Amino acid sequence: MTVLSTDANDLHLTPLDTSQSFSRMVALIQDEIDDTTAEYTTQIQDSILTALRLCEREPFFFNEKRTLTFKTQPGKTWYGQEEGVFLESERDVEAVLLGPHGTSHGASLTTTLASQLVFKPVQILQKQYGALSPQLLPQEIPQGTPLFYTYHEQKIGLFPTPIQVETVCLVCVPARLAEESVHEGDNPWFTHAFDLIKARAKYELYKNILKDPEYAAVSFSDFQEQLQALRFETSRRKGAANILPMRF
């Protein structure tokens, strides 16, 4: 397996329960600024969205476009953590390529020589190929050169099931945030950068709404501390020794 931009084997941080992350952050900020009457609920929500839009400019380990490659195994349909494939959501995958991958010659060669697989929902592919049918013996599962891929329970499925060893390249997109997605439970920004976003949102709130420069300075200091911690973790996972400063 080859991993570019981040070391998938090092993804060991324990995720937060993100099912209520946005509302949880709003409640925490309300408590921390002593907003007992919920007077500033709308402004807090707006400050969180502002913080999210600003922070996604910074490339963190969970927010970089990266390429994962692995080898197929004859007769094996599903590929996950055992092969170094770490995916939090099917939205992480921009493309799945099958075939030669000349990474040392640049991405254009990789794209030219590889065939791009087509996504289909898991139910359709299982019905079409019967890959998980209990009536089929392993040797009866249709095998060939994969044409389609699907995503299920953090694994990539290839259909038809590979008949020989091939190289598969997953092109994974950065975790860009849409405003309507902040309430979703699998949002990586709330999983990995909860404290960073909260600190920046409080800074925006104190600076622009509450007009309290002293508390704004404290919140900005907290934000910088959280930012540096995430930069360090990003550099550590990439094996880099230097952390470049960036001002917001």
Tokens coding 19: 């099912």
End-to-end CA, the chain: 36
Distance CA 189, CA 129 (A): 36
pLDDT computed for residue 142 by the predictor: 87
Find the length of the chain. 248
Specify the 3-state DSSP secondary structure of 170: strand
pLDDT computed for residue 19 by the predictor: 45
pLDDT computed for residue 78 by the predictor: 92
Q: Are 47 and 201 in contact (CB under 8 A)?
A: yes
Nearest to 207 by CA among 197, 198, 217: 217
Specify the 3-state DSSP secondary structure of 185: coil
148-152/118-119 β-pairing: parallel
Distance CA 102, CA 68 (A): 13
DSSP notation for 100-158: ---GGG-HHHHHHHSEEPEE--HHHHHHHH-TT-TTS-GGGS-EES--EEEEETTEEEE
Distance CA 20, CA 138 (A): 42
Distance CA 117, CA 162 (A): 13
Specify the 3-state DSSP secondary structure of 11: coil
Count of Cβ atoms closer than 10 Å to residue 42 Cβ = 11
pLDDT computed for residue 219 by the predictor: 98
Instruction: Using the Cα atoms of residue 33, residue 36, residue 37 and residue 42 in order, give the sign of their dihedral.
Output: positive
DSSP notation for 45-106: HHHHHHHHHHHTTS--TTSS-EEEEEE--TT--EE-GGGT---S-GGGEEEEEES---GGG-
Mean pLDDT by 10 residues, the chain (248 residues): 41 46 93 96 96 90 84 93 81 86 45 80 88 58 92 91 94 66 70 94 98 98 97 83 45
Total-model pTM: 0.58
Specify the 3-state DSSP secondary structure of 230: helix
Domain boundaries, the chain: 17-61+182-238, 66-172
